[in-house]
């Protein structure tokens, strides 16, 4: 069989790229190793009757233009009307229900600090102004600045001029904040420790860094710039719509087929070889696997230019996030606010506690009090759990990567116990309601989802691995030094998370070529 394009991996980025390529008239095949589509966005039954809403549960970054271009709403996708507030519980006190809208957030923040309520409005306004400059940067290919053959002086000038449109004051502020540690930014901005840590946490999920680490402010700015209201039914609903859109445009999807090799002839990609030995021809191959898997596992080093091989060996993808799913017989209720049934919860008492969790990870030790990003997806999609039951989805930030700690079965359970007791210290009825639990360490994530290093974003997102540096300068425009091989996954700009961004921009780049 011969195709125009073979997409490796049916995660949300692979499906996005496939759908958009088919829309552009290409004949597309998607090859998926697992028995279902969706990758990190897919729903799995982790306990009888209980299903997850994906490994990554935040859908606020999904790009509007993908929804439009693939007619996803016609294929059943519904957007939320407004963002879900995040609850920040306390052991003593009332906790803080944090709305994105400053006017809704004000009364809650006021009970901690009137000054912070006022600053929060300014902080959100700053993000939305900054978003006008960052969004074009995150919705298109990164400007070809450094290390690319096509790097041109005018590309740099254009990027600079675009930034100047922010206005003098805002531009200087952006340049000042970008290399800063989140701790400095948060302490300049707010005085409530709970607020400081809750706002900082998303900026820390993507790399092996703590709030004291310089440059973490950029991660947060990029996260905030793309935030929308999210998808009804979360990541699995997105996957269902993407698959339907792909199928309606004639994309073929083969499950349970793993690619063992990307085939080359005279340095040009001609297709793939499957694990069973079958050879598929395609004039182009677009890989949505992480870059290390693509270049180091699916190819032989001698096929790669030396600098690309070296670049891939130095590409950092140290998985620092674990996942815990809990099956509950009743709601997740917090002692400090029993009347509330929050859908999103963030646990991390202060910036110091976030930094201390990172300290442990540096030395390959189990974190003492890891930051937890918790979702209860069964509140918006009751079909995930039996009647009255709930699913709790927990991303555990700051766990030691596979290279630094040997993730044995015992350690996996130790981590599970740690997370449960941490959550239970805020939600005391939790333990009695747990009927099932799944713990996925970075090693499990590597094995189950084929992530080299177990990194959920296909590679860390420190300042040295974003924009024109992602994953390496010579592959930053989705094409690679190997003719016919393209990248379309989270290891490419604009990076990881359920966003469809890399798939979208890669498809456009392929269609333009």
Residue from the set 203, 215, 471, 497 that interacts with another protein by CB under 8 A: 215
Q: How far is CA 335 from CA 65, 89, 109, 211, 464, in A?
A: 41, 9, 19, 28, 42
Residue 180 interacting with another protein (CB under 8 A):
yes
* Residues in a beta bridge with 397: 321, 371
**Among residues 285, 288, 298, 291, which one has the least CA distance to residue 259?**
298
Kindly tell me which residue out of 101, 417, 432, 464 binds another protein, with binding defined by CB under 8 A: 464
Among 68, 74, 132, 176, binds another protein (CB under 8 A): 176
Per CB under 8 A, 291 contacts another protein:
no
Query: Cβ-count burial of 302 within 10 angstroms (0-12 exposed, 13-18 middle, 19+ buried)?
Result: exposed
Closest to another protein by CB, 183 vs 337, is 183
DSSP label of 79:
B
Among 48, 153, 266, 302, binds another protein (CB under 8 A): 153
- Residue 189: C-alpha distances to residues 105, 158, 179 (Å): 16, 31, 16
Q: Which is nearer to another protein, 169 or 265 (CB)?
A: 169
Q: Does 151 bind another protein (CB under 8 A)?
A: yes
In the complex, the smallest distance separating the C-beta of residue 148 from another protein, rounded to whole angstroms, is 6
Stretch that binds another protein, among 1-9, 163-171, 237-245, 270-278 (CB under 8 A): 163-171
Binding residue for another protein, selected from 45, 101, 307, 406, defined by CB under 8 A: 307
Q: Provide the mask over 320-359, with x wherever binding to another protein is found by CB under 8 A and - wherever it is not.
A: --------------------------------x--x---x
Q: What are phi and psi of 16, to 5 degrees?
A: -60, -50
Contacts of 169 (CB under 8 A, 6+ apart): none
Q: How many residues bind another protein (CB under 8 A)?
A: 45
Place of tokens 């993730």: 407
CB of 210 to another protein, least distance (A): 9
Residue of 291, 331, 454, 473 that binds another protein (CB under 8 A): 473
Q: Distance from CA of residue 373 to its chain's centroid?
A: 13
Token reading at 350: 């202060």
Stretch in the footprint of another protein (CB under 8 A) among 2-10, 24-32, 34-42, 470-478: 470-478
Which one among 92, 168, 265, 302 touches another protein, defined by CB under 8 A?
168
Q: Whose Cβ is closer to another protein: residue 36's or residue 359's?
A: 359
Virtual CA dihedral for 482, 488, 491, 493, nearest 10 degrees?
Answer: 100
- Report d(CA 416, CA 399) in Å as an integer: 12
Which region among 49-57, 131-139, 193-201, 456-464 touches another protein (by CB under 8 A)?
456-464
Note the residue count of the chain. Answer: 513
Our CB check for another protein shows the closer of 83 and 214 to be: 214
| DSSP, res 272 | E
Contact between 257 and another protein by CB under 8 A: the answer reads no
**What is residue 294's DSSP assignment?**
I
Residue 53 contacts residue 377 (beta carbons within 8 Å): yes
| Residue 187 Ramachandran class (φ > 0 left, ψ -120 to 50 alpha, else beta) | alpha
Positions in the binding site for another protein (CB under 8 A): 145-149, 151, 153, 156-157, 160, 164, 168-169, 171-172, 175-181, 184, 188, 209, 212-215, 307, 310, 314, 316, 352, 355, 359, 362-363, 462-464, 469, 472-474
């Amino acid at each position: 069989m011969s195709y125009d394009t073979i997409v490796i991996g049916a995660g949300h980025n692979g499906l996005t790229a496939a759908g958009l390529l088919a829309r552009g008239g290409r004949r597309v095949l998607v090859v998926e190793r697992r028995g279902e589509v969706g990758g990190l966005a897919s729903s799995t039954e982790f306990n009888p009757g209980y299903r997850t809403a994906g490994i990554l549960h935040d859908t606020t970054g999904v790009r509007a233009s993908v929804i439009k271009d693939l007619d996803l709403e016609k294929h059943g996708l519904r957007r939320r009307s407004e963002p879900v507030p995040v609850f920040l519980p306390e052991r003593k006190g009332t906790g803080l229900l944090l709305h994105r809208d400053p006017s809704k957030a004000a009364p809650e923040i006021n009970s901690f600090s009137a000054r912070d309520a006022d600053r929060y409005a300014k902080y959100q306004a700053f993000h939305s102004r900054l978003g006008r400059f960052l969004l074009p940067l995150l919705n298109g290919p990164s400007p070809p600045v450094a290390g690319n053959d096509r790097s041109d002086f005018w590309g740099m000038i254009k990027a600079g001029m675009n930034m100047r449109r922010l206005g003098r004051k805002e531009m200087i502020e952006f340049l000042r904040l970008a290399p800063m540690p989140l701790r400095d930014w948060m302490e300049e901005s707010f005085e409530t420790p709970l607020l400081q840590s809750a706002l900082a946490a998303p900026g820390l999920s993507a790399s092996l860094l703590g709030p004291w680490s310089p440059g973490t402010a950029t991660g947060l700015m990029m996260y905030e710039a793309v935030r929308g209201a999210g998808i009804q039914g979360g990541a699995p609903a997105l996957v269902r719509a993407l698959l339907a859109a792909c199928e309606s445009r004639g994309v073929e999807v083969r499950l349970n087929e793993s690619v063992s090799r990307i085939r080359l002839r005279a340095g040009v990609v001609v297709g793939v070889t499957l694990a069973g030995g079958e050879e598929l021809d395609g004039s182009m191959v677009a890989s949505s696997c992480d870059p290390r898997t693509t270049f180091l596992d699916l190819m032989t080093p001698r096929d790669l230019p030396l600098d690309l091989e070296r670049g891939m060996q130095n590409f950092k993808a140290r998985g620092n996030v674990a996942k815990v799913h809990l099956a509950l017989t009743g709601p997740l209720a917090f002692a400090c606010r029993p009347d509330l049934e929050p859908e999103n919860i963030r646990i991390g008492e202060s910036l110091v506690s976030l930094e201390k969790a990172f300290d442990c990870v540096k030395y390959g030790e189990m974190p003492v009090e890891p930051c937890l990003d918790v979702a209860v997806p069964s509140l918006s999609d009751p079909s995930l759990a039996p009647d009255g039951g709930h699913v709790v989805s927990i991303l555990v930030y700051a766990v030691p990567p596979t290279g630094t700690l040997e993730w044995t079965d015992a350690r996996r359970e130790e981590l599970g116990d740690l997370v449960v007791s941490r959550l239970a210290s805020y939600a005391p009825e939790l333990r009695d309601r747990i009927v099932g639990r799944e713990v996925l360490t970075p090693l499990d994530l590597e094995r189950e989802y084929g992530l080299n290093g177990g990194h959920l974003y296909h590679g860390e997102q420190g300042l040295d691995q974003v924009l024109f540096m992602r994953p390496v300068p010579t592959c930053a425009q989705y094409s690679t030094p190997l003719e016919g091989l393209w990248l379309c996954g989270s290891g490419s700009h604009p990076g990881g998370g359920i966003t469809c961004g890399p798939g979208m921009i890669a498809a456009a780049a392929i269609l333009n070529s």
